[in-house]
Amino acid sequence: MRQYVVHEVIRRTLITNPDQLVVSGNTRLTYAQLYERVLRLANSLRELGIGAGTMVGVLDVNTHRFFELHYALSMLGATLHTINFRLSPEQMVYSMVHAADEWLFVSDTFMGAVKPLTAKFPNWVVMSDDSDYPLPDVARAHRYEDLVSAGDARELSTADKVQDTDIFSIFYTTGTTGKPKGIRYRHKKILLGALQLFHHLALHQTGARIDSRDVFMPLVPFFHIHGWGMAFFPAYIGAKLVLAGAAPPDVQAKLIRQEGVTALNMVPTQLHMLLEQPDFSNVKVLTGGSPLTSGLAKAADSRGVKFSLIYGGSDQLATAISVVPEDVAPDTPEALEWLRVGMRPLPMVEVEIRDKTGKRVPHDGQTVGTVWVRSPWLPEGYYKEPELTAEAYIDGWFRSGDLGVFYPNGGLYVADRERDAVKSGGEWIPTGMLEALLSEHPAVGIVAVIARPDERWGERPVAVVKPSGDVSADELREFLQLKVADGTIASYWIPDAFEFVDDIPLTSAGKINKVALRAQFAK
C-alpha cells in the first residue's frame, strides 16, 4: 500500500483475489467486477462535482452499493457520513444538518420515510434494483445504477492525491443520553483500528478466531463504525463477503447455510434472536456493545457457536477482545467464562482503570474504576463540540465513562456504563454482572437491571425481566441468594424489585435501552 487510504485496500484485493465473491441479495459480484463498478461510479460522481471534502450522507442497510461507496468516495477524497437509520427522525435529521451533508445517497427502503427532507437537501441519488424507481423532485436527482453505467472504468487521477491524514468518514453516537455526537476519522486511523481488530482475532486463542478462508457476514450495520470494520478487512484479505441487507433472523439463518458463512458480528440481542432459529449453529461470532450474559454464552456454546466479546465504541473504535489465557485449557467451562468476561487490549492499545481522582487502581479483579483508553486511532474529539471533547479526551487519553476491573493476568472486564451502574450506599453495583447471573436462570430470556432512587441508600437495583418460562420474583431472589452464599455477590446486590415485561426496548445500536426502562420503572 502506498498509504493507509481506504481505496488502496480494494486495489490490493484486485491483485490477490479478483475472483472472490461479494454477495448482496440477488447480486453476485467478483471483486474484479465490483472494482470496475467502483471506478465507474467514482468517475460519474466526479462529473457531478463530488470531490475532496464533499460531505456525502448514505442511508442504507448493508448492501453492495453501500460497500462500493466506501471505496468510490475514498478515491475522490470525499467524506462519507454513514447515517444511522435507527435514530429517531429528529436525531437523524440533526446528524445530517450537523454534518452538513451536501449529497444524500438513499436506498429505496428508506426513500418514503425521508421524502419530506427533499426541500432541505437538494442533491439526491436513489439506490434501487428498480430501474424505474421514481426520483425525488429536487434540483439534482440521479439513480445509482445509471451513474455506474455511465461512468468510465478507468483509474482516477485524484485517487493518488488522497492523503492518509484526510478525513474519510463521520458517524454519530446513538443519542440515548442527548444529542448524537459526531466523530470524524481519518483514513489511516479508521484502517489501523479495523485491521488491528482482524490481527487480534487471527493471532490469539479467541472463540471467533478468523482467517482468509472464512466467509464473512456483518450483521452490525455499516453506519456503526463501518460494521465494526467489516467494510474493510474481508477485502483486505480477499475473503468472500455476504451482505444480508434488511433480512430478518430466519432469512439470515438461511443465508448463512446457503453461502457457507463462517464468521459474523452482531450485538447480543441479535445473537439471542438467531439462537431462536433451529438451524443456527457452528459459526464464529464477534459480539459486543453490551455485556454478554452467561446464559446467552452457554446457549451459544451448546449450538457450537464460538464467540468472542469486543469492547470499544464510536468514539474509540476497537479497544479489547476476549481471549482464553495461555494457562487455561480451551473448550472448558473456564475458557468459556474467560471468553465472556476476560478481554485483552488490542496491540498498540493502552487501557487503564482509574478512580475519580485519576489514580490507577490495582489489577486485583475486584477494584472497580473508570476505563481510560489510549491508542493510535483515537479521534481528535467530537465534531463541533469543544466542551464535550474537553471532558472526554484528556492528554491523549479517552475517558470512556465505562466501569471496569483488571484481573492480575491482564484481562479486562467492562462491567457497566457509569450512568447505568447502581450507586447504593456509596458502593457500586455493576448491573452487567447482575444481569449475567440472572440470565443463568433457565426461565430468564432477557434481563436488564436499572437504578431506582431510594431515600435511604441513594439508589437500589431493579431487575426488568423478559421471561422465557414460568418464573416469579421470589424464585429469582432465592436464585441470587445462592450466589450470595457462595461468595459470588454481596447480599445488598439483590434487586429490591423484579418487573416482568413482554418485550425489552432497544437503542438504535440494538442494545438494551436503559433510558427507556428507567423512565418506565425507576419511580
Please say whether the beta carbons of 467 and 499 come within 8 A: no
Q: Is residue 453 part of a domain?
A: yes
Q: Is residue 506 part of a domain?
A: yes
Q: Is residue 431 part of a domain?
A: yes
Q: Is residue 501 part of a domain?
A: yes
Q: Is residue 355 part of a domain?
A: no
d(CA 121, CA 103): 7
Range scoring the smallest mean pLDDT among 382-386, 458-462, 483-487: 483-487
For the question of whether the overall pTM of this predicted structure is more than 0.75, the answer is yes
| CA gyration radius, the chain | 23
pLDDT of residue 177: 62
Q: Does the structure show a pLDDT above 70 at 72?
A: yes
From residue 152, alpha-carbon distances to 47, 140, 309, 323 in Å are 11, 21, 43, 47
Q: Does the structure show a pLDDT above 80 at 298?
A: yes
DSSP SS3 for 281: coil
d(CA 440, CA 464): 15
Q: Is residue 378 part of a domain?
A: no
Cα-flanking dihedrals φ and ψ of residue 447, to 5°?
-140, 140
Task: Kindly state the cell numbers that stand for 1.
Answer: 500500500
For residue 330, what pLDDT band results from cuts at 50, 70 and 90? confident
Q: Does the structure show a pLDDT above 70 at 426?
A: yes
Half-sphere exposure of 127 (CA within 13 A, CB side): 21
pLDDT of residue 115: 85
pLDDT of residue 497: 94
Q: Which of the pair, 211 or 176, is modelled with greater confidence?
A: 211
DSSP 296-330: HHHHHHHTT-EEEEEEEETTTEEEEEE---TTS-S
Longest pairwise C-alpha distance within the chain? 72
| Number of folded domains that form the chain | 1
pLDDT in tens, 268-296: 889 999 999 999 999 999 999 877 877 88
For residue 485, what pLDDT band results from cuts at 50, 70 and 90? confident
Q: The domain spanning residue 455 has which CATH number?
A: 3.30.300.30
Cα-flanking dihedrals φ and ψ of residue 63, to 5°?
-135, 170
pLDDT in tens, 361-383: 998 887 888 999 999 999 999 99
pLDDT in tens, 223-235: 999 999 999 999 9
Please say whether the beta carbons of 313 and 380 come within 8 A: no
Distance in Å from the first CA to the final CA of the chain: 57
From residue 136, alpha-carbon distances to 15, 106, 188 in Å are 39, 11, 36
Q: Does the structure show a pLDDT above 80 at 433?
A: no
| Residue 317, beta-bridge partner list | 313
Q: Is residue 502 part of a domain?
A: yes
pLDDT of residue 509: 62
Please say whether the beta carbons of 32 and 213 come within 8 A: no
Q: Is residue 170 part of a domain?
A: no
pLDDT > 90: percent of the chain? 71
Task: Kindly state the cell numbers that stand for 50.
Answer: 463530488
Cell 479521534 sits on residue: 379
pLDDT in tens, 104-142: 999 999 998 898 898 889 999 999 999 999 999 888 999
For residue 92, what pLDDT band results from cuts at 50, 70 and 90? very high
User: In which element (H, E) is residue 236 found?
Assistant: helix 233-237
Domain limits for position 518: 424-523
Please say whether the beta carbons of 31 and 14 come within 8 A: yes
Q: Does the structure show a pLDDT above 70 at 196?
A: yes
From residue 248, alpha-carbon distances to 16, 245, 266, 287, 412 in Å are 33, 9, 13, 18, 33
Q: Where are the alpha helices (DSSP H) in 104-143?
A: 108-114
pLDDT of residue 34: 98
Cα-flanking dihedrals φ and ψ of residue 284, to 5°?
-110, 135
From residue 134, alpha-carbon distances to 60, 112, 125, 127, 245 in Å are 17, 11, 11, 11, 21
